[in-house]
Structure 1
Amino acid sequence: MGPLGELSPVDPSTGHPFNPKNPNNQTQGMEISVEDLNSYFLFAKERAGVKDEQMVEIYKALVEKIHPLAIGNIYRAARMARQIVEKLLLMHLKKNHDQEQIKKICNALTQDICIHGYPITRDEALDLGLSIENSDEKLNPQIWDLYENYAKIMLLNQPFNPVQELQAEEVKKIQYVGAAIESATLNHEFIFSGHIRKLIKDNQATIDVNIESSHWKIIA
């Protein structure tokens, strides 16, 4: 890792047909964060002092707002995220000798660090027990050049502005790169494609952004 390198926790947000609808657009479902759900129960226990025998009321209040199948989908995503973390760690750590270390790292990345935007620096990554090697002065500028190349591909320095993208057009096709995985022999990019449309509702103009497909594509 370079001096500016960061990792982040693994706390997926999930979409589901039974997720609550966006109050500002009833045609769109809202994503639900795994950590938002976990924090709801932790708040009830740790801050509100709700006892175990009273938790059934907390569950009832939750299912009044979120469909049980959507809650099940969130839990499934959390389990899958933890399994992926474990599998990746087993590629680098010895399974028979590092079970406690793997458990510690999994707990940190999937539940203890509860904010997705929290930056895990290389020093903290080492403290967690991850196998991190600091880059040297010769490698650092090469890593930064690579980052700047990805920044151009993904337009990281250009905030997404649908009004500016659409300009005077009524409809415009859009395509963006959301992620990239590159090796010595292959380069994959995750592509989002869709349309931006100008809509008139109640004599007011609104902008609708519709992502119609998302997929991995082999670039080279």
Structure 2
Amino acid sequence: DRDNDRVSVSLDELTRVVRLWQSQKSDKNENENPYQQLFQHVHPLVIGAVDRAESLSIMLCKELLAYHIKEEKIQDRIANALNAKYPSHGYPILFEEAKRVGLKVSHLTPEINSLLLELNELYSEMGQRATTDFDDTHAHSNEILNIWETSGILVHFQQDKDWFYRTEERRWISLNDNSTWRRTLKVGNKIEKSILHIS
């Protein structure tokens, strides 16, 4: 991108580019291979890695669906639909559309919906982006990037590091990285906080 940072590429984006190329090719470039042009911008190994990531995504989706749906054909259909038919992973699938896809859905009770909205508000507050810019080449990042919670325990990943912008390379370098997984336990009436060592 413009800051010389890596950008993510999805298999769907790559296949759409190839499909668009093939649909718009004229007689004079009929023998041209779209991958020759694509390889100038995306390394061939990246295309292989993206394909592998999509296969993993479908496999994980099927494994999760298997907890609720026993028929393998239905699992395949839903997993492929969720991984290939939507313009982005951030696309919201609402109730009626979830039913159309084949997911077993039901409306939440108002009480559960209210509790989930409260929880979302807390997690959103915890996960606020927190970057302090000292000048145009120095910054510090201190934010929670991941939250796991169950009854009586909360585990989160706290990013805590300095950043230096190396102008010659047009990229940010991390320094003084004190990022850690942290655990918060409720023991009786006490709250205990500690660093969680995960290798």
The TM-score, its normalising length taken from structure 2, stands at 0.73
Give the structure 1 partner of residue 101 of structure 2: 128
Please show how residues 56-205 of structure 1 align to structure 2 within 5 Å: 57-94=33-70, 98-155=71-128, 162=131, 165-167=132-134, 171-197=138-164
Which structure carries more relative contact order (alpha carbon 8 Å, separation 6+)? 1
Q: Distance in 2 between matches of 1:216 and 1:43?
A: 44
Change (3 A) 1:147 1:82: same
Aligned partner of residue 106 in structure 2, secondary structure: coil
Q: Which structure 2 residues correspond to residues 42-61 of structure 1 after superposition, within 5 A?
A: 42-45=19-22, 47-48=23-24, 57-61=33-37
Which of structures 1 and 2 has the bigger CA Rg? 2
After TM superposition, give the deviation of residue 172 of structure 1 in Å.
4.5
Deviation at 1:78, TM superposition (A): 0.9
1:86 to partner: Cα distance = 0.7
Give the conservation status (yes or no) of the 8 Å contact 2:145–2:156: yes
* 2:33 counterpart SS class: helix
Q: Residues 166 and 197 of structure 1 are in contact (CA less than 8 Å); yes or no, is this contact kept in structure 2?
A: no
1:38 aligned onto 2:26: no
Judged with a 3 Å threshold, the aligned counterparts in structure 2 of structure 1 residues 122 and 217 are, in CA distance, closer, same or farther, namely farther
Matches of 1:34 and 1:196, distance apart in 2: 31
Given that residues 143 and 160 in structure 2 are in contact (C-alpha distance below 8 angstroms), is that contact kept between their aligned partners in structure 1? Answer: yes
Counterpart secondary structure, 2:111: coil
Residue 189 of structure 1 deviates from its aligned partner by 2.4
Q: Deviations over 1:108-137 (max 9, x none)?
A: 211111222311112221221222232112
RMSD between superposed Cα atoms in Å = 3.4
Aligned-pair CA distance for 1:143:
1.4
Paired residues of 2:155 and 2:184 also in contact (CA < 8 A):
yes
Instruction: Report SS of the residue matched to 1:140.
Output: helix
Q: 1:59, 1:200 → 2: CA distance?
A: 33
Cα distance between partner residues in 2 of 1:31 and 1:209: 19
CA contact (8 A) 2:166 2:173 kept: no
Identical amino acids, percent of aligned pairs: 21
**C-alpha spacing 1:179/1:23, structure 2 compared with 1 (3 Å):** same
Quick one: which amino acid aligns to residue 43 of structure 2?
H
CA distance in 1, matches of 2:173, 2:95: 37
Q: How many residues align?
A: 181
- How many Å apart are 1:198 and its aligned residue? 6.0
Distance 1:55 1:117, change over 3 A: farther
* C-alpha displacement of 1:144: 1.1
Question: In 2, distance between residues paired with 1:210 and 1:43?
Answer: 39
Separation in 2, partners of 1:78, 1:55:
29
**Aligned in 2, Cα 1:198/1:70: closer, same or farther, shift over 3 Å?**
closer
